[in-house]
Amino acid sequence: MNDRDSRRTYSDTIAGYITRYEPANERFGLRTSDGRLFTVHLGDSLSSQVVRNLGDPPRDTSGQSRDMLTEGRYVFVYGIHYQWEGGERIEARSLIFPEESRGRYVFEHPDWWVQQAGEIADFYLRGHFPDGTYDWRNFRTKLTLHGTHVDEAAGQDVRQETDTISRLVYGLATAYMLTGQERFLEAAESGTEYLREHMRVDDQREGIVYWYHGIDITPSGQRKVYASEFGDDFDAIPMYEQIYALAGPTQTYRITGDPRILSDIDRSVALFQRYYRDDRLGGFFSHLDPITFDPRSDSLGRNRSRKNWNSVGDHAPAYLINAYLATGRQDFAELLEETADSITAHFPDEPNSPFVQERFHEDWAPDRTWGWQQDRAVVGHNLKIAWNLTRINSLVNKPEYARLASRIAEIMPAVGGDQNRGGWYDVVERRPDPETGGHRLVWHDRKAWWQQEQGILAYLILAGVTRDPEHRRLARESAAFYNAFFLDHDDGAVYFNVLANGIPYLVGTERLKGSHAMAGYHSLELCYLAATYTTLLVNSSPLTLHFKPQPGAFADRVLRVAPDLLPAGSVEIARVWIDDVPHEDFDAKELTVTLPDSDQALRVRVELEPAAMPLRISTSNEDTTLSVRVEGVIDDENLDKFRRSLATALNSAPRRVEFDLCKVTDICQPAINELLFQRAKAGLDVDFVIVGNSLPEVTAALVATDAFLLDNTHTCR
């Protein structure tokens, strides 16, 4: 072989932590997630940027690229790779930094996921209802990359799929919970009503509810589509379609308490218990015959007498956890425990495979020959199990739940993650290749948006619950890849798939933003729960949620506001407003609000905070006065939180800033310097006033700078 035969040139992405920067040699060292070391060379054509959120302008940092190459900083490098026999050279062409500065990841800002949720929800509202009227007769399952409906030929039937509508309703309801924007709730409620009116079968004789696969809108009217017409489930009633039909209505119920929705949930669960449940061996069958409702019918073919991840595990994230959060009912808690018990008992497959088994026969014998799955693993399902077992463990504390979740989290990066570029793969062989020892990718090396969500949420909640720094590192790397490459800044929302290197893959149905598989569900679920876990569990910051209960909707007028299944006692209610007026009738530890008697729907805003929060910062504005109340310790560990909160509050451009430091027990010198820095930036026409401070030496130090005023009319009680 001659030298020319051994040469190879290609472009690719590599991600890792900077180990050194050598300005004289125009290069830096990079260590990937799994510890591999590379040298990256720079050049005149280098560009760089900081990851930006949806709705934000570009954050070009090309002029500061070399100054940003500090040791320990995480970076994505896209460049040209030159390989030859005995050597390799990587020349960077662009750098993407997920950190504003070392350790300050952009997506850990308290408002990051809230803003992203609003942008995504608005994308879907514009796409489906461009005239601003939320008439779900105009909804279409397919939505283009650009956020428009796919062109329809004259006379063509239009399919509206139940699950696609329900998933979007979930996303819109979730966006309301995070933002409080009325348009999202209005669309979610009208979508729920549309599902109930057009997609629901109310069998009062049997006391059950089940859901159509969808409806076809034809030139002459509407035609119900009863059994599924999706390829894997053709002419059957798959459990996962019935499960996901509840996703949107249940999330809407958390907000409004509409008793009709709860009735639908209860009678859908009655369907599950009566027909899908295996009373003898446990678990739930995956499909029913549409005529007899028999899961063992020969008509089901390869789906006869089968159980799978979707029929057993998808109850929890799709509707069941949210139904429990809204009601606190024991029967929902018991069903959650039952599904978690089934997973821990039957899904693990070590030492045969590091991946869980996902498909089973009636007797729980693994089914390794079914359809496209064969003996293959969906990486996201493994991560989803780790995430949901951790959630359920906060409700039903069982060692086997935490043990399996931690074991999956330990295994997955090496077998399902891309430790060279970041992100999570799609479907892999469950058993290692005898030649390479690795798990071969089945069809491609692309990465789907929903599987990134599972990785982010799994490691975020584990980081918050276990405080394991390795879990937090993996959560950050997962969120960095997603926010760097999946956000579509040109058209809005997020891409379905990207290539291994992060470049969007825009072919076929994967080009769409709305389809059988995609409808704003996973992307908005991610926003909601990433905000919850990041603020409340990881960064010890407050989270604000919004509700709008109907008159008399909840029993005893008690609104339950727990954001998710979190460790008992870890979160409390800090403040509540009803119709923008402070409301004091709440149980901080039980996470419940007692609503006043009213004949109108009430707008309820709830601020939640960690029970053990070392630093609390609250702000309020009245006219041109900004009040800043600080409690706890402002030390080096909490300095960044203090700086961010102060900078965000000062964005309101106040004329007077009042600092209540009565409950500050300690303050570090850099925090004092930050106050001085912000005072100087605000300008001489803005007064910084200390209205209370229990540490006289701090007051004296601040007043001595001639930058602060002291209001002696206020004292600390």
DSSP letter string, 352-376: T-SSPP-EEETTS-B---STTTTTE
**3 state SS of 305:** coil
- In the sheet with 214-218, reading across from the earlier edge strand, the strands are 158-161, 214-218, 221-225
| Chain segment 58-106, per-residue pLDDT in tens | 999 999 999 999 999 999 999 999 999 888 999 999 999 999 998 999 9
Return left, alpha or beta for 364; rule: phi > 0 is left, psi -120 to 50 is alpha, else beta.
Answer: left
368-378, pLDDT tens digit by residue? 999 999 999 99
CA distance linking residue 556 with residue 345, whole number of Å? 39
Distance, in Å, from the CA atom of 300 to the CA atom of 297, rounded to the nearest integer, reads: 6
pLDDT digits (tens, 9 = 90+) for 122-161: 999 999 999 999 999 999 999 999 999 987 755 567 889 9
Q: What is the DSSP string of 316-340?
A: IIIIIHHHHHHH--HHHHHHHHHHH
List, for residues 610-624, the tens digit of each pLDDT value: 998 788 888 888 889
Question: Per DSSP, what are the bridge partners of residue 366?
Answer: 360
Provide, rounded to the nearest whole percent, the portion of the chain with pLDDT above 70. Answer: 98
Which pLDDT score is estimated for 632? Answer: 85
Write down the pLDDT at residue 153.
59
Q: What is the pLDDT of residues 427-446, one digit of tens each?
A: 999 999 999 999 999 999 99
Q: Which residues, in sequence order, are bridge partners of residue 94?
A: 47, 78
Average pLDDT over residues 335-357: 97
**Model confidence pLDDT, tens digit, residues 256-297:** 999 999 999 999 999 999 999 999 999 999 999 999 999 999
For residues 523 and 521, give the distance between their C-alpha atoms in angstroms, rounded to a whole number.
Answer: 6
Q: What share of the chain is helix, strand, coil (3-state, %, to 5)?
A: 40, 25, 35
Q: What is the pLDDT of residue 98?
A: 98
**Would you give the end-to-end CA distance of the chain in angstroms?**
85
Nearest-angstrom CA–CA distance, 52 and 72: 21
CA-to-CA dists, residue 463 to 322, 450, 456, 460, angstroms:
22, 20, 10, 5
Q: In angstroms, how far is CA 627 from the centroid of its own chain?
A: 32
Which has the higher per-residue pLDDT, 43 or 138?
A: 138
**Chain center to CA of 121:** 14
What secondary structure letter does DSSP report for 345? Answer: H
Question: Strand 47-50 relative to strand 87-97: parallel, antiparallel, unpaired?
Answer: parallel
Q: Which two tokens stand for residue 6?
A: 């051994």
Q: Nearest Cα to 488, choosing from 479, 480, 498, 478?
A: 498
pLDDT at 553: 95
- Cα(572)–Cα(696) distance, integer angstroms: 31
- Tell me which residue of 290, 308, 309 sits closest to 299, measured CA to CA: 290
As a residue count, the chain comes to 717
Contacts 24+ apart (CB under 8 A), 152-158: 155/219, 157/216, 157/217, 157/218, 157/223, 158/216, 158/217, 158/218
Q: What is the mean pLDDT of residues 306-326?
A: 98
Up-side HSE of residue 183: CA atoms within 13 Å toward CB?
13
Strands (E), 269-344: 287-288, 306-308
Q: In DSSP terms, which residues pair with 209 in a beta bridge?
A: 202
The whole-number pLDDT of residue 635 equals: 84
**Beta strand pairing call for 104-105 and 208-211:** unpaired
Rounded CA separation 405/410 (Å): 9
Q: 465-501: per-residue pLDDT in tens? A: 999 999 999 999 999 999 999 999 999 999 999 999 9
Would you state the pLDDT for residue 662? Answer: 84
* Structural tokens at position 666: 């300690």
Q: What is the pLDDT of residue 155?
A: 56
Which pLDDT does position 1 carry in this prediction? 46
Q: How far apart are alpha carbons 162 and 173 in whole angstroms?
A: 16
- Alpha carbon 687 to its chain's center: 40
Evaluated on CA atoms 188, 193, 197, 201, the torsion sign reads positive
For 336, phi then psi, to 5°, come to: -60, -45
Asked if pLDDT for residue 3 goes beyond 60, the answer is: no
Q: Cα(189)–Cα(277) distance, rounded to whole angstroms?
A: 30
Paired strand residues for 75:
16
Residue 4 predicted with pLDDT over 70: no
Q: Specify the residue for token string 């809204």.
A: 326
Confidence at residue 708, expressed as pLDDT on a 0 to 100 scale: 81
How many Å apart are CA 454 and CA 391, to the nearest integer?
Answer: 13
Average confidence (pLDDT) over 595-601: 96
pLDDT band at 637 (very low <50, low <70, confident <90, very high): confident
Q: What is the DSSP track for 579-591?
A: TTEE---EETTTT
196, 291, 161, 159: which is closest to 236 by C-alpha?
291
- The structure tokens listed for 225 are 């589509």
Looking at residue 690, its pLDDT comes to 86
Report pLDDT for 387.
98
The Cβ-side half-sphere exposure at 581, using a 13 Å CA radius, reads 5
Mean of per-residue pLDDT scores for the chain? 94
Q: Is the pLDDT of residue 172 over 70?
A: yes
- Alpha-carbon span 348 to 407, nearest angstrom: 10
- Closest by CA to 244, choosing from 169, 142, 320, 319, is 319
Element (H, E) at 451: helix 449-466
Q: What confidence score (pLDDT) does residue 692 get?
A: 80
CA distance 462 to 537: 9
pLDDT computed for residue 648 by the predictor: 80
Average pLDDT over residues 666-681: 84
Render pLDDT for 241-258 as a digit per residue (tens, 0 to 9). 999 999 999 999 999 999
pLDDT for the residue 294: 98
Q: For the segment 518-559, what is each residue's pLDDT rounded down to a tens digit?
A: 999 999 999 999 999 999 999 999 999 999 999 999 999 999
Higher pLDDT, 4 or 1: 4
